[in-house]
Amino acid sequence: MPSVIAIANQKGGVGKSTTAQNLGVALAERGREVLLVDLDPQAALTTMCGVAVGNGAVTVAECLAGSAPAAEAITRPRCGTTVRARLPETVWLLPGSLALAAFEVTHAGAEDRQLRLRAALREVGGRFDYVLVDSPPNLGLLTVNALAASDGVLVPLQLEFLALRGMQALFQSISRVRDAHNPPLRVIGILPTMHRGRALHSDEVLSRVRERFGDLVFEAVVRSSVRFPEASAGGLSLLEYDARSPGAEAYRRLAEEVESRA
């Protein structure tokens, strides 16, 4: 079975989708077969991968509903048009869609509502070394599905003091899911994101995060850069768009650390 990693934080805008995409490509560069799963109704990861979900397309929403197998929904991320794109052929995508927004309502009474993603991934898991699940910015049923289906949790943490306030709620949710549905679940690590270069504030928060969480914090630190939105606009990961950029190197370092911990 693959190593299934939920990328989770109930705060939006901390780099979950960016981390899923770029970590996935970095792992693929290391020779791994990788599946990206977009479990966010906003489908940011799907868009960032250059995939347009049209009417009638099969997405992870249909897999959760039980109306289609995951194998029918898996597709290849687009490589964009730039000559700099060199997407490894071992990266695949289970796309998301706005239809996910109805899941909590339509399946609120289902006994297996927390385990739908686990069941869907069981059908295809043997194909991949890593499955990276991009979860929505809340602690609702979709995020619970991500945690219940995963071996570990990777937490992107924006380097701002206010971002630290939500960590306790996230860790409590992880603990509840572990107790109820997934005893082996563990936090793989915390990834500091959006470090603002020489900004003293970012350094102060990073220092506090390392002091509070110790070895749980990855050595890799992702700095803010205009290259990230530029890459996303072209449907590319940063590793394809600007392979030698500090951001690309940070995600390669993260991939190395994840493999040592997963």
Instruction: Supply the pLDDT for residue 80.
Output: 47
Q: Does domain 3-261 have CATH number 3.40.190.10?
A: no
- Average pLDDT across the chain, whole number: 91
The separation between the first and the last C-alpha atoms of the chain, rounded to the nearest angstrom, is 13
The per-residue pLDDT for range 161-198, each reduced to its tens digit, is: 888 888 999 999 999 999 999 999 999 999 999 987 66
pLDDT at 199: 62
* Element containing residue 182 per DSSP (H, E): none
Q: What is the dihedral of CA 233, 150, 180, 120, to 10 degrees?
A: 80
pTM (two decimals): 0.94
Nearest to 49 by CA among 24, 77, 83: 77
User: What is the DSSP pairing of strand 91-94 with strand 34-38?
Assistant: parallel
